[in-house]
């Protein structure tokens, strides 16, 4: 999933694609680099960010989606917590909703997703972007996030959303310390029992620079290390800024993983003979 922030203040690329034409060009570039989904958002969810009024969010994302949708062969996701934004985005050509509020931010969102019959990402977040990084605490971060996501899946199904349309996201960096993030990545396999696809979005997050250093290049190198670990631990979708580099990373991960499977198959073939 390639990230396309049509915002002036996102933590990594704020302002770079705020202009409509720049955003469209970047969306096409992400698809050309190998993105399977383009995630378009008009409201920053970086720590301590202010919420964006609904009408302003619509003005940011809808013209971009209208232009991009007919040009791309891959689906567009709308990154929003607001039902009216999601509705207009779907009408403009979006085929998926990425809701960091897990359907809790807008009482109309669950019904909209159910009626539109589109996939939805349900993410864990402790608090709201403005407050989430103020001393977040957990007794068992993996267990608590898993239970939250299980409840979110249940609520979605109760609202009429098909289970096969549901994706979960543990919310790396959303109300978590460095240690919390590392535990979730290490034990991502624990979400397998939810029996829905898992998305993870570690791209260029601050926990990486806190371990390495604050330089942007280190954040991208660190992102690839996290993507590798997440893929090996069960992630189905990775949400990233640098699609081209991530495709190469995942190609190597798949080659390593598939070579183990091939080796076992060959060993079984020899043993059976």
The residue to which tokens 């202009």 are assigned: 19
Report how far residue 222's alpha carbon sits from residue 142's, in angstroms, rounded to the nearest whole number. 22
Report residue 153: phi and psi, to 5°.
Answer: -60, -45
Cα angle 38, 8, 71; round to 5? 30
**Of how many residues is the chain composed?**
273
Cα angle 65, 69, 74; round to 5? 120
Report how far residue 132's alpha carbon sits from residue 136's, in angstroms, rounded to the nearest whole number. 7
Cα angle 241, 33, 169; round to 5? 40
DSSP state for residue 137 in the 8-state scheme = -
What radius of gyration, in Å, describes the C-alpha atoms of the chain? 19
Among residues 47, 115, 111, 120, which one has the least CA distance to residue 80? 120
71 catalytically annotated = no
Query: What separation in angstroms does the CA of 42 have from each of 47, 51, 62?
Result: 16, 10, 9
205 catalytically annotated = yes
Contact 150, 198 (CB under 8 A): no
Q: Which of 46, 205, 245, 269 is catalytic?
A: 205
Q: Which of 239, 245, 248, 264 is catalytic?
A: 239
Contact 134, 89 (CB under 8 A): no
| Catalytic residue positions, numbered | 205, 239
């Amino acid at each position: 999933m390639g990230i396309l922030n049509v915002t002036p203040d996102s933590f990594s690329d704020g302002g770079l694609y705020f202009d409509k034409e720049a955003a469209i060009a970047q969306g096409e570039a992400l698809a050309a680099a190998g993105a399977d989904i383009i995630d378009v958002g008009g409201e920053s969810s970086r720590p301590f960010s202010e919420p964006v009024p609904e009408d302003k969010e619509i003005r940011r994302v809808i013209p971009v989606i209208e232009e991009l949708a007919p040009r791309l062969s891959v689906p567009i996701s709308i990154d929003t917590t607001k039902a009216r934004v999601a509705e207009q985005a779907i009408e403009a050509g979006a085929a998926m909703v990425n809701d960091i509020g897990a359907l809790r931010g807008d009482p109309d969102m669950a019904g909209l997703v159910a009626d539109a019959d589109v996939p939805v990402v349900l993410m864990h977040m402790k608090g709201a972007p403005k407050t989430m990084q103020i001393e977040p605490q957990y007794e068992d971060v993996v267990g608590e996030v898993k239970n939250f996501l299980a409840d979110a899946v249940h609520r979605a199904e109760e609202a009429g959303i098909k289970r096969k349309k549901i994706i979960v996201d543990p919310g790396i960096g959303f109300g978590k310390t460095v240690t919390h993030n590392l535990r979730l990545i290490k034990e991502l396999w624990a979400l397998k029992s939810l029996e829905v696809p898992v998305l993870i979005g570690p791209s260029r997050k601050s926990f990486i620079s806190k371990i390495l250093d604050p330089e942007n290049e280190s954040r991208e190198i660190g992102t690839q290390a996290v993507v590798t670990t997440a893929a090996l631990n069960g992630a189905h979708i990775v949400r990233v800024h640098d699609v081209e580099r991530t495709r190469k990373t995942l190609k190597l991960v798949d080659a390593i993983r598939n070579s183990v499977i091939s080796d076992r198959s060959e060993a079984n073939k020899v043993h059976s003979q």
